[in-house]
Amino acid sequence: MPIYMDRHDVPGATAVDVARAHQEDLHIQDQYECKAITYWFDEAHGAAFCLVEAPNKEAVMAMHENAHGLVPHQIIEVQSSVVESFLGRIVDPESANSRENDEIVISESALRAIMCIGLHCTYPGQHTSDISTIHERKIRSAILDAFKHFAARPVEIASSLNIATFASVSSAVQCAKEIQHQTEQFSPTPEHRAPCVRMSLSTGIPVDGRNELFGKTLQEARRLCSFARGGQLLLAPSAMQIYRDTAEGELKTGNIRAVNPTDFFFLNNLMSVIEETWNDPDIQLDDIRDRIGISKSQLYRKISSLSGYSPIGFLREYRLQQSRECIEKQSGTVTEIAYECGFGSLSYFSKCFRKRFGISPSEFSSTTG
């Protein structure tokens, strides 16, 4: 039977109020062929999230409406394994406090900090494959060790992109600092010391208007990661606000940067356009500029200040990162991937790929097969 997660906006409610509503669900759940599994409640933000096994969304809605009248504001279908990856549990927490008349009171926020880590190394010189394999293995090991130390929950672990969730922003920032410290010690060759780990951090709730669990937050984190420079952590405005409110002290390192709301708005508008057009070889910067609604000089200034690339350079970098992921996933031949990723010719793609990663796409493909 499908499993759903819903969101109730309940400003002013207490943990006891939500616990009693959950008990009312349990009393009548069989009438609707439902099973109210567990829930999360964030009193500070006035939001509750219920995990329910049910035949369909309508059954979840009817159960809540007839149990206590608190109709969900959104319901999405989820996989229990994905919920556990993001939130750490799919049953009532052991730490829940038992109250009179056997009510279980849960006051655990579902808000999470989501970190994306892109691994984009360049390996010049000879014996590239051997060097890159050893170097990236050390970096991945350092990342996973940091995740474990700071109680992160890995959601996606891949060659070029790692995603993890944290219960607190401050833990996520400390984890990023540790990753920066550890990975800057690694160098594939004495001549090459440019950091190749890029990180981003955003915060959000599991049911946020999208049909995917943490859909909006994941999108923000992935987009931010595209703009992070080597060795840098970029924080979304939401993450920075929570950090200011909860952490001790300010961020004092240039390798951790908060994106202000104005730049974040621009970044999301830009990425909405690029995500639709990046693989079109005929797309022009004027087309992107017109769709965003800014001048050519503003486009150049904004992109270069955020990413360090020119607009053309940023689009090329985005295409190269997408092509690298496609090669890693064996999505097609190198030639097919080149054209699918917006490159007008195989020779130009190979030239750009080698310049960026220090290895030809064919050689890179042989290391991932």
pLDDT grade, residue 129 (50/70/90)? low
Q: What is the mean pLDDT of residues 258-278?
A: 96
Ranges of each domain in the chain: 3-105, 111-259, 260-369
pLDDT digits (tens, 9 = 90+) for 51-103: 999 999 999 999 999 999 999 999 999 999 999 999 999 999 876 555 545 67
Is the C-alpha dihedral spanning 141, 146, 151, 153 positive or negative?
negative
Contact predicate 67/24, CB 8 Å? yes
pLDDT digits (tens, 9 = 90+) for 292-348: 999 999 999 999 999 999 999 999 999 999 999 899 888 899 999 999 999 999 999
d(CA 168, CA 65): 33
pLDDT at position 140, please?
Answer: 86
Contact predicate 164/152, CB 8 Å? yes
pLDDT digits (tens, 9 = 90+) for 163-222: 999 999 999 999 999 998 888 776 555 445 456 789 999 999 999 999 999 999 999 999
CATH of region 111-259, choose from 3.30.70.1230, 3.90.1150.10, 1.10.3720.10, 3.30.420.40? 3.30.70.1230
d(CA 244, CA 193): 32
pLDDT grade, residue 246 (50/70/90)? confident
pLDDT at position 331, please?
Answer: 86
Q: What is the mean pLDDT of residues 222-249?
A: 89
Contact predicate 169/194, CB 8 Å? no
Closest CA to 44 of 128, 109, 136: 109
pLDDT grade, residue 248 (50/70/90)? low
What type of residue sits at position 322? Q
Characterize the bridge pairing of strands 256-258 and 47-53: unpaired
pTM tops 0.85: yes
Q: What is the mean pLDDT of residues 234-253?
A: 82
The DSSP-derived string for 5-52 is EEEEE-TT--HHHHHHHHHHHHHHGGGGT-EEEEEEEETTTTEEEEEE
Q: Do domains 3-105 and 260-369 have the same CATH topology?
A: no
Class of domain 3-105: alpha beta
Characterize the bridge pairing of strands 97-98 and 104-105: antiparallel
Class of domain 260-369: mainly alpha
Low-confidence winner among 117-131, 264-278, 302-316, 347-361 (lowest mean pLDDT): 117-131
pLDDT at position 101, please?
Answer: 55
pLDDT at position 195, please?
Answer: 63
Query: What is the token pair recorded at 222?
Result: 């992935």
Q: Is 115 exposed, middle or buried (0-12, 13-18, 19+ CB in 10 A)?
A: buried
pLDDT at position 44, please?
Answer: 86
d(CA 201, CA 221): 6
Query: Position of tokens 């090991």?
Result: 141
pLDDT averaged over every residue in the chain: 89
pLDDT digits (tens, 9 = 90+) for 37-51: 999 999 888 999 999
pLDDT at position 186, please?
Answer: 65
Q: First and final CA of the chain: distance in angstroms? A: 37
